[in-house]
Every structure is written in C-alpha cells, then in structure tokens.
Amino acid sequence: MKTLKKSLLLLVLPLIAFTAAHKFYVSVTNVMYSDKDEAIQITTRIFIDDLEKALEERYEVSTKMATKKEIEDVDYYVEKYLKSKFLVFLDGTQKEYTYIGKKYDNDVIVCYIEVANVKMATLKSIAIINEVLTGMFDEQQNVVHFKLNNEKKSYVLGRENNKGMLNF
C-alpha cells in the first residue's frame, strides 16, 4: 500500500507542479463605435507583469505599475509601446489614435484608445494589427472583439497571424 501511495504521489506531483507553473499569455481588446463621439473606441486588457517585461526589455525602464513605486511617466512608455505594436486601419489607411489613459484591474492594465472623427456611415472596413507581447512570448494570443455597425466578429491573433479585419 505504501508503494502504491508513493508511486501515485510521484506521478501526480509533476502534473501539479506543471499546472501551477504554466503561464497564460493573452490580451483582450474590444473595438466599438460611439455615435455620440463619432469615434472608434478601443479598450485593451494586458497582464501587467507581461507588459512590464516588454517595457523593461524594449526601453530599459522598470515601471513598477500598480504600486506605490510606479514611475511618473509610465503612460509615456505604455503609449509608446502600444503605438509601435497596435495599429488601426480604416478603409486600408493607417489612422493615428489617441491614447486616453489606463486603469488597473487586479493584475491587468486596461488601456483606453480612441480614433476620432470617424463617419460610420461611410466606413467600409476596419483592421487591427495587434503585435502586443508577441515578440516576448511565443504563446501570446491577442483576442480582438469587433462590435461595430451591428456586426460582431472576434479574432485570436498571434505572432504569425497578427491582423483582424471587419468589412461592412
């Protein structure tokens, strides 16, 4: 009986250790249109620790997000990173967007982005290229949910497939 228990423990222990050590790499982005503001409004949710690693590697800065030691210009680095890795195209033309700001939700940073002066009635397509964290983590998946003009579509983007598009 003791041998059986030891064997079972030896079989189960590595499985438990593997499960606890496994990390899930994902961001979730929602893309919507505001009639009131005539703007594409985007929220993207990214794990803080993963984004901090990317900022540290890319800009050699320790941001210490969501702590009392957070650096003063953290928004500058978040915006700079997003503008290099997250692109918005309307009718095939890349559009500049405004990084409005961020908030923290437990271990996630929620970033707010807006593309202003968009006339939904004349828009034929919107595309998002999302390469957030794909250079850091092979397993990174960036989920993009479009909810525009009574259309809903979702994409799971990664290193090899980084573009999601919605046609009207």
- What are the boundaries of each domain within the chain? 23-167
For Cα atoms 107, 137, 69, give the angle at the middle one, nearest 5 degrees. Answer: 35
pLDDT at 145: 97
* CA neighbor of 143 nearest in space, from 44, 23, 28: 28
Instruction: Give residue 150's pLDDT band: very low, low, confident or very high (50, 70, 90).
Output: confident
Which tens digits make up the pLDDT trace of 29-58?
Answer: 999 999 999 999 999 999 999 999 999 999
Give, as one character, the DSSP assignment of residue 155.
E
- Return the residue matching tokens 């079972």: 8
Q: Quote the pTM value.
A: 0.85
- 144, 90, 50, 69 alpha-carbon torsion, rounded to 10°: -120
pLDDT at 149: 85
